Amino acid sequence: MEYLNMTIVVIYLVAMLGFGWWGKSRTRNASDYLVAGRRLGPLLYTGTMAAVVLGGASTVGGVGLGYTYGISGMWLVVAIGTGVLLLSLLFAPTIQRLKIYTVSQMLSLRYGSEATKVSGIVMLAYTLMLCATSTGAYATIFVVLFGWDRALSIAIGGIIVVIYSAIGGMWSITLADMAQFVIKTIGVFALMLPFSLSAAGGFDGIAERAGSEFFNITGIGAQSIITYFVVYTLGLLIGQDIWQRVFTSRTPEVARWGGATAGIYCILYGVAGAVIGMSASVILPDIASRDDVYADIAINVLPIGIGGLVLAAAVAAMMSTASGSLIAAATVARTDVLPYVRSWTTRRDARSATTGTRIHTKPAGNAEAHDVTASRWWVFGLGVTAIALAIVVQDVVAALTIAYDILVGGLLVSIIGGLVWKRGNGLGAGVSMAVGTLVTLGTMIYLEVNAENQYDGIYANEPIYFGLAASAFVYIAVSFASPPTSPAVMSAWEDRVAGNVPDDEAPGVEASAGGASALPDRP
């Protein structure tokens, strides 16, 4: 009967390839490939936003935390849901109206400064490591279910994600994510939660056999709760993988309320995962690793067939994060990083004959810069790279932590500052990113060298705290001490924020004589 569970998972994997071909039929241009034509309505947008943020850490990890810490194991996923809520209610409508493709483009448009282009490199590192981490995570399900070697599991699962992502881009990923959202909802809320809770004797049975401390909302510890909010909530506000989903929404209202609905869903998902883990601690008290709890419940507690669907839900959660981060990495690499690296050796029209400068940020909106075929090759190439990283690098989580810390400690202030503070300028943003990144890395290295345990090293919170503080101080001080952003740049920015730019117009602004900041034409 175990073969039935295996068959269900195999059918799911084949279906993901089918969604790739289905999405290909809807992909006619670069906008379709990268942001699903900016046409997603409330249902598709809500489902795909929830799918991309609820990965292996939220599903398998959330259940494992509930197994160890009780109801307080929910805080990791609650922090993720809170990040989605804040992004959606505070910033998503503005982000949607920009009609861009990357976070780095927002910085270029807002500040008109070449200093902000380095953000693309940081974002690429973050999205690539997130993809590698997710790829390694869903391979653990294949190891348990099929008995495959870890490297083979990573390769097979990764190839499936790369194929359906590369074929149809964001449309394929959106359709696959919607299916994954449905499977996760059924698997966790309709099947796993009631079956496991019933087998544990309900909440009374859990309290009787596990103790009332399992219902302590802060049982996991204040330090861990703070960590989740600092890392995940703040990271979600500025991550390219999340912003790229915002870009897919049809209207600012869809971005706000569809995203808010997804945030609430995430919070409920976190509570459900913690309760499932609490139930498992009573039913299966001797599980050695909390990362195995989810799979053990599916195989040993749930009926045959239902267990297969639940395992497919776990794979769905991890694949949705992997595919979302993969296309985000490809978009950043092609749109931001490649032109920036080329500019180190090739400068064309760096400055105009006058003091003014032409600012061109033309990403995937034009065929020359972002044709679909080339984008497919970027997705394929970075997907293979992520698979190799997942196989070769044993501590991918440490690499992801470093990328997350730099993302938040180095870039958060300049990005959010650009959205909310008009006086912030390009020089302040550029220096802020440099100082925040250096302080974050420096603190991390110092703590790692002098670490007495893992919480004092790379995984400590202090690097983000110091990086954010230094970044904010420098951003404000330098912005006040230097001239404000050029009126021409600010005027173009405000037009775009107001939604006065047609959907098919590539981001760009012309600044004539009068002291506009310098941004060279892209090669």
Concatenating the DSSP letter of every residue in 249-274 gives: BSSHHIIIIIHHHHHHHHHHHHHHHH
Here the tokens at position 145 are 């279910």
Here the tokens at position 99 are 């009609």
Which whole number is the average pLDDT over 457-486?
92
The residue written with tokens 């995430």 in the block is 266
202 has pLDDT over 50: yes
Split into its structural domains, the chain has a count of 1
pLDDT tens profile 358-378 = 444 444 344 434 578 899 999
pLDDT tens profile 288-304 = 878 888 888 888 888 88
HSE-up (13 A, CA, CB side) for residue 158: 30
Determine the Cα–Cα distance for residues 310 and 316; give it in Å rounded to an integer: 10
In degrees, rounded to 5, the angle at the alpha carbon of residue 202 between the alpha carbons of residues 197 and 208 is 120
Neighbour count for residue 346 (Cβ, 10 Å): 11
Determine the Cα–Cα distance for residues 338 and 230; give it in Å rounded to an integer: 31
114 has pLDDT over 60: yes
Enter the pTM of the model: 0.88
- Residue 492 forms part of a structural domain: no
pLDDT given for residue 502 in this prediction: 61
Interhelix angle for 306-332 vs 150-184, to 10°? 100
pLDDT given for residue 499 in this prediction: 84
Here the tokens at position 351 are 């400055």
DSSP 212: G
Determine the Cα–Cα distance for residues 89 and 236; give it in Å rounded to an integer: 13
- Residue 135 forms part of a structural domain: yes
Here the tokens at position 259 are 């995203």
Determine the Cα–Cα distance for residues 406 and 196; give it in Å rounded to an integer: 39
Q: 449 or 193, which is more confident?
A: 193
In degrees, rounded to 5, the angle at the alpha carbon of residue 217 between the alpha carbons of residues 211 and 222 is 115
Here the tokens at position 227 are 């960590």
- Residue 56 forms part of a structural domain: yes
- Residue 522 forms part of a structural domain: no
pLDDT given for residue 346 in this prediction: 67
Grouping H, G, I as helix, E, B as strand and the rest as coil, residue 358 is: strand
Q: Which of 67-81, 331-345, 350-364, 399-413 has the highest mean pLDDT?
A: 67-81
**Strand locations in 281-400 (E):** 357-360
Q: Which domain holds residue 53?
A: 2-90+114-215+266-343+362-393
DSSP 192: I
Determine the Cα–Cα distance for residues 75 and 51; give it in Å rounded to an integer: 18
Q: 135 or 468, which is more confident?
A: 468
Evaluate the CA torsion angle 173, 174, 177, 179 in order and state its sign. negative
Helix and strand counts by DSSP (H, E) for the chain: 25, 2
Determine the Cα–Cα distance for residues 230 and 296; give it in Å rounded to an integer: 31
Q: How confident is the model at residue 458 (pLDDT cuts 50, 70, 90)?
A: confident
Q: How confident is the model at residue 456 (pLDDT cuts 50, 70, 90)?
A: low
State what percent of residues in the chain have pLDDT above 70: 89
Determine the Cα–Cα distance for residues 167 and 178; give it in Å rounded to an integer: 17
- Residue 506 forms part of a structural domain: no
Asked if residue 96 lies in contact with residue 251, where contact means CB atoms within 8 angstroms, the answer is yes
Q: 217 or 25, which is more confident?
A: 217
115 has pLDDT over 70: yes
511 has pLDDT over 50: no
517 has pLDDT over 50: no
The per-residue pLDDT of the chain, averaged, comes to 86
Q: 291 or 250, which is more confident?
A: 250
Q: Which of 29-33, 300-304, 471-475 has the highest mean pLDDT?
A: 471-475
Which whole number is the average pLDDT over 35-54?
94
Which whole number is the average pLDDT over 330-339?
92
pLDDT given for residue 195 in this prediction: 93
162 has pLDDT over 80: yes
Determine the Cα–Cα distance for residues 466 and 500; give it in Å rounded to an integer: 39
pLDDT tens profile 85-103 = 999 999 999 999 999 999 9
Asked if residue 157 lies in contact with residue 139, where contact means CB atoms within 8 angstroms, the answer is yes
- Residue 57 forms part of a structural domain: yes
Q: 505 or 123, which is more confident?
A: 123
Which whole number is the average pLDDT over 507-511?
38
Q: How far out from the chain centre does Cα 506 lie?
A: 24
pLDDT given for residue 353 in this prediction: 41
The residue written with tokens 């001239």 in the block is 483
Here the tokens at position 236 are 């979600």
- Residue 410 forms part of a structural domain: no
Determine the Cα–Cα distance for residues 113 and 430; give it in Å rounded to an integer: 8
Which whole number is the average pLDDT over 493-504?
79
Which whole number is the average pLDDT over 48-77?
91
Specify the range with the lowest mean pLDDT, choosing from 161-175, 197-211, 314-328, 494-508.
494-508
- Residue 384 forms part of a structural domain: yes
